[in-house]
Amino acid sequence: MNQGSGHTTMLVSADSDTGHDSFVLRYRTHQSTSLGLSFKQEVACMGLAQAQGLAPEIVWLDEECQSMVIEFLQEPGSISQVELANLTKSIHRLPPEMPTLNLQHQIEHYWQIAYERGNSASNLVSPCEPALGAAIKALEAELPVTCHNDLTPPNIRRRNRDIVAIDWEYAATGSPHFEVATLCAGWPSMNTQSLALAILGDRFSKPLLHIATHLYAALNWNWHLAAGETFEGEQSPKTLIQRLAANL
């Protein structure tokens, strides 16, 4: 079905005495390990979300081989801003039992992997940039919540009338503004501020959202190069840091 950045999915379908059943076999690739993604943490967060109807049901699990079979869910079709906001708020209300997302460690890890792939240091966002440290400190001052951190359109499915999230590889406890920044990057057609307000309510801070947006862009730059992907456009590590610094 799909070859993701750190996993492969296959549709498993068969006839049975009760009808036609379909499931998804999902197994991790070497890329997932190199990017530092924890299968144990993913399964634990999926369990929390599944109990609230926010994730697909895990019907078989092999932790040693980092594989699982989950229920098959259809692609959602059109999704409204209200649906997306409600799903995100429900995820944020899950018990904050996951390890905290260490943004400094993440950007350092992606820098190292990308550098080992042959990218020059000048083409990467340096983890030592003062603007990065200041931005991370600002977001860490927030009350942390459970975050999915990858609510892109391919990671949304529909069960009956409700939408649920799949691919919980990046789930962790962290900044709700950073979650919203990652979310808005994946849904450019939606109005960023109104979506942020719908999710965060009284917690919404325009300065924090700007900081989170530019911090995510810097981290995402290193992630793409660590994953062996390239960017199109006129961005550069220098402009990414300049834009982040301008919002501090």
Per the CB < 8 A criterion, the answer to whether 225 and 125 are in contact is no
Q: What is the DSSP string of 43-67?
A: HHHHHHHHHTTSSPPEEEEETTTTE
**Cβ atoms 7, 39 nearer than 8 A:** no
CB-count exposure of residue 61 (10 Å: 0-12, 13-18, 19+)? middle
pLDDT at 181: 97
Per-residue pLDDT in tens (0 to 9) along the chain, 248 residues: 776 667 889 999 988 787 888 999 998 876 655 666 788 999 999 999 999 999 999 999 999 999 999 999 989 999 999 999 999 999 999 999 899 999 999 999 999 999 999 999 999 999 999 999 999 999 999 999 999 999 999 999 999 999 999 999 999 999 999 999 999 999 999 999 999 999 999 999 999 999 999 999 999 999 999 988 877 667 899 999 999 999 99
Is the model's pTM score more than 0.85?
yes
CA pair distance 229, 231, nearest whole angstrom: 7
| Residue 175 structure tokens | 């900044």
Task: Take residue 98 and report the two structure tokens written for it.
Answer: 């996951």
Cβ partners under 8 Å of residue 130, min gap 6:
none
What does the alpha-carbon distance between residue 202 and residue 185 come to, in Å, rounded to a whole number? 22
Positive or negative: CA dihedral 48, 54, 55, 60? positive
Token digits of residue 182: 């990652």
Q: Pick the closest to residue 60 from 130, 117, 12 (CA basis).
A: 12
- Spatial distance between the Cα atoms of 248 and 244, rounded to a whole number of angstroms: 7
Question: What pLDDT was estimated at residue 32?
Answer: 55
